[in-house]
Amino acid sequence: MMEIKRYMLMAPTLLAASLGSLAGDGVKVEHLGVNNTLVRVEGDGRYLMMPVQESVDDAKVNLLVDGKLERTFYVRLAKSKIDYSVPLDLEPYKGHNVVLEINANNEYSPLGEVKEQASWNSFTLADSFDTTNSEKFRPAFHHTPLYGWMNDPNGMFYKDGVWHLYYQWNPYGSKWQNMTWGHSSSTDLVNWKHEPTAIEPDGIGTIFSGSCAIDTENSTGFGKDAVVALYTSAAASQMQSLAHSENNGESFIKYPGNPVFTLETEARDPNMYWNPDTKKWTIVLAHALEKEILFLSSPDLKEWTVESAFGKGEGAQDGVWECPDLFPLEINGKKKWVLLVNLNPGGPFGGSATQYFIGDFDGKTFTADTDASGKIPTKWMDFGKDHYATVTWSDAPDGRRTAIGWMSNWQYAADVPTQQYRSANTLPRELSLFTAPDGEIYLASVPSPEVKNLRAKTIMNGRTLNVGKKASSVSLPSANDGLCEVAFDIESKKNANVNITLSNSKNEKVVITYNSTDNTIAFDRREAGISNFSVDFPAVTVSPTFSINGKTSVHLFIDRSSVEMFAKDGKYVMTNLVFPNEPYSSISFSSEGSAKISNLEMYSLKANN
């Protein structure tokens, strides 16, 4: 568990620029000439606090320990203003000489100017670093990193009652950089414990997305039931690497022969499972720019063979293919295979999204099902804008197939109005298959059963409302900044649209519209709150409801900056971020004709963060 101590994360004041070379006590700064500076740690302290200004370019930092290059990382070192500071943990180097050799070489600055830049006077030593939540949009019941940028969920596995979640993490700022595997764990998928960093960059690159599994057969020789990890080492090229853990995923030992697999073209995000029939691993790998998925096999994760490829020209192709996952699910007693393929850009509402294919897999080749017209249909897992890089847990108990996504979109993830951290995960979801009225098999997603543990109080249980043109409003719970869960069934009486509006006293609103003529449900966040940070943020997202006869259901989870909407049976899902200036306080229902809202349930939810 990362220490949670006191240190002001935000450093609001800009220290007066001084030409002196001493920064905070115990830190000495030496300017060597244009854009090159040494920062020497001379005093004691657990952390060297590095000042960040998000709008400037990255500086390259070589961390020298006793004169040897320990590692290189990139930080947007502050120039004219300090947005916040990030910690460099000095604990591992206690008793050694620590120097940062900094090249702010992105643009030419004369020495005098460099000396006056805020950052050089604002490195400080601190014994503690406060990671308690200080931001109003930080989700209260979704997983977020304690601080810094997060994107894809990675390497999730379940072992001995614990759900492990790794993630693409930048420890040195709230924008994408320095990809590292952060780690959290949970016994119930909703209360997360922050664990020490799992895998750090090395000489062959930063650590991009990948997967973990339990090596029950000791196929790798690392030991029976060792946790094995595959990930992409990303530098000038993308290569695939192997690691294993001897302490249930707390830390990983990299395979000395890395990389284990290379190609001449960009490929990433290896995802594996052990195939007991072939006694080999099956690995799916995104051949990103070719927009296809490679299927490989390996007896030991060290020697890989390309068996086949799927996807060229199929499905959505308007972006790179990333983060695949392959797993079986049953429908009507038959096994079908689901291939998840994340795509960026090219999603149905712009930017990133998760598409999937249903088909068969014989251990070597994936064959996608075709629709009535003989084509392979494009299917979307979630019809919101903020659901990406979704993959599933390996080795989940009771035959469960549990997924989690990154709750953002590459279009604006780096610009959302948060600072201490950026991005959260979606709620965990259980996957299953269903046959829709069009005869096609689709993926259903419902919140994992553990999500019920978040309920604090039952506010309403089973109410019915007959609604017409005049809106019927119900207050949302105000406890914990309005965190709540609301579920109801809708029956449209004369095929008229039914509107459901979440709103606050500032007239900020989300409008959900059920259209029973074309069997769709829409989510309009154009006036939901703050949206001016990106032209791509205001949007209306629309999903088929996969229902007939004018009936559907809605199940909402409202956190401080997101609304997830499920059909009660999981046939549609929509995940959207929202940034209301104050929590939504009311939900209202109306119809252009008449409609019945029944089984209205409402719960206030607990705040975990």
- Residue numbers of the site for ligand FRU (CB under 6 A)? 151-152, 168, 179, 208-209, 232, 268-269, 322-323, 389
Owner of token pair 């691993």: 281
**Shortest Å, Cβ 232 to ligand FRU:** 5
Q: Output Rg (C-alpha) for the chain, integer angstroms.
A: 25
Task: Tell me whether residue 59 or residue 323 sits nearer to ligand FRU (CB atom).
Answer: 323
* Residue nearest ligand FRU, Cβ-based: 208
Nearest distance, CB of residue 342 and ligand FRU, angstroms: 6
- We find the least distance from the C-beta atom of residue 234 to ligand FRU, in angstroms, to be 7
Residue whose CB is less far from ligand FRU, 124 or 241: 241
Residue 93 and residue 80 in contact, taking contact as beta carbons nearer than 8 Å: no
Comparison of 1 and 236: residue with beta carbon closer to ligand FRU: 236
- Nearest residue to 605 via CA among 504, 427, 485, 487: 485
Strands (E), 16-131: 27-33, 36-41, 47-52, 59-65, 68-75, 84-89, 98-103, 124-126
Q: Residue 407 or residue 600: which is nearer to ligand FRU going by CB?
A: 407
- Show which residues are catalytic: 152
For residues 147 and 3, the answer to whether their CB atoms sit within 8 Å is no
Closest CA to 431 of 403, 391, 458: 403
Neighbours of 257 (CB within 10 A): 9
Contact 588, 471 (CB under 8 A): yes
288 neighbors 267 (Cβ within 8 angstroms): yes
- Tallying the residues shown for the chain, one arrives at 609
- SS3 helix, strand, coil % of the chain, rounded to 5? 5, 50, 45
DSSP codes of every residue in 414-446: GGSS--SEE--BPPPEEEEEEE-TTS-EEEEEE
- Token pair for residue 341? 């393929």
215 φ/ψ angles, rounded to the nearest 5 degrees: -85, 80
Nearer to ligand FRU, 145 or 482 (CB): 145
Q: Which residues contact 42 (CB under 8 A, 6 or more apart)?
A: 26, 27, 28
Query: At 400, phi and psi to the nearest 5?
Result: -75, 150
146 CB-side CA count, 13 A: 23
For the bound state, the minimum distance from the C-beta of residue 316 to ligand FRU, rounded and expressed in Å, comes to 15
What are the Cα distances from residue 311, in Å, to 199, 297, 315?
Answer: 31, 18, 7
Sequence-ordered list of residues with C-beta below 8 angstroms from that of 301, at least 6 positions apart, any chain? 219, 220, 228, 230, 242, 260, 272, 281
Q: Which is nearer to ligand FRU, 285 or 454 (CB)?
A: 285
Specify the residue, 345 or 544, whose C-beta has the smaller distance to ligand FRU: 345
Nearer to ligand FRU, 49 or 577 (CB): 577
Closest separation in Å from C-beta 151 to ligand FRU? 5
- CB of 231: closest distance to ligand FRU in angstroms? 8
CA distance 477 to 466: 22
Residue 554 Cβ vs ligand FRU, minimum distance, rounded to whole Å: 29
Contact 131, 2 (CB under 8 A): yes
Enumerate the β-bridge partners of residue 486.
Answer: 556, 602
Instruction: For the CB of residue 51, give the shortest distance to ligand FRU in the complex, in Å.
Output: 25
User: Could you tell me the smallest distance in angstroms from the CB atom of residue 603 to ligand FRU?
Assistant: 33
Closer Cβ to ligand FRU, 152 or 485, answer by number: 152
Alpha-carbon gap, residue 523 to 22, rounded angstroms: 54
